[in-house]
Amino acid sequence: MTEPFTVAIDGPAAAGKGTISRAVAARFGFAHLDTGLLYRAVGAKGGDPVAAAKDLRPEDLARDDLRSAEAGIAASRVAAIPDVRAALTDFQRAFARRAGGAVLDGRDIGTVICPEAEVKLYVTASDEVRAERRWRELRDNGDTISLVQVLDDLRARDARDRERATAPMRPADDALLLDTTELTIDSAVEKACKAIERQLGQGRG
């Protein structure tokens, strides 16, 4: 496959969109971009976030502290700044239309970054289930944050992401909804892959 083919996967933190995105990219041989890492890297750099976004380099995405709770909170704060989002938009759009197909996961891929994506998915789950997942992930990485604090942070981040003036988090009108509260990740991956296969089939036709 040489022509562009974009899969946009959106949703709140710890819903499973990253796991689904990586699995889908591996299944179809597409490139994958976790766009949240861009914002985590900007937040982690500190200083003026707009300047940090403009100067972002590939090596900034390789920092080993980008999965921490602190980086997630910083990412949500800088993501609410319109000039930061603008600075990172061109990078994301170029990645999305690269030859050979691309999967991008984030919070505004299907609505703002790639509204013309061939496939759009919105992955969600209940607050409690997402908090439990994120807490276990942080605990396994040595973080001592409590489950209650994780839930509070997650809800605060969701509110910022939904209510920001620029590119608020919401499903695209034509997105396939995948609720992983009770749906296993394997089942969600299969549903995502079937949607992609249908669109690929139409394209070949």
Binding residue numbers for ATP = 11-19
CA-wise closest residue to 79 among 171, 170, 172, 168: 168
How long, in residues, is the chain?
A: 205
CA separation, residue 76 to residues 55, 85, 97, 154 (Å)? 19, 11, 26, 10
Start-to-end C-alpha separation, the chain = 14
Is 100 in contact with 28 (CB distance < 8 Å)? no
Binding residues: 11-19
Q: Is 204 exposed, middle or buried (0-12, 13-18, 19+ CB in 10 A)?
A: exposed
Q: Residue 162 has which token pair? A: 């939904």
